Amino acid sequence: MNKDKINELLTIALGALSVIAIIGILINKNFEPTEILSSIVNFTQVAIPVIVLIVATTIKKENKTLIDIGREVLIRVQKKNSDFLMGPQYNRKDYDPEKGQGLEYLFITNDDPHSKQRAKFITIDSLKQGILAIHVQKGTLVYGLNYSSGAATQDEINKIQQEVRSAVLSIIEKKYKGYFELVSDSKNDTAIVVAFEVEQMGRKKFKHAIHECTNEAIRQLRKFKK
Which parts of the chain have pLDDT scores under 50? 37, 41, 59-60
pLDDT value of residue 78: 97
Helix (H), strand (E) at residue 102: none
DSSP annotation of 31 reads T
pLDDT value of residue 140: 97
pLDDT value of residue 142: 96
Picking from 35, 217, 225, 22, the residue whose alpha carbon sits closest to that of residue 123 is 217
- The tens digit of pLDDT for each residue in 105-138 reads 999 999 887 888 999 999 999 999 999 999 999 9
What is each CA distance from 39 to 43, 53, 111, in whole angstroms? 6, 22, 59
pLDDT value of residue 116: 84
Q: Where are the alpha helices (DSSP H) in 63-191?
A: 66-80, 138-139, 154-175
pLDDT value of residue 64: 84
pTM for the full predicted model: 0.72
Counting every residue, how long is the chain? 226
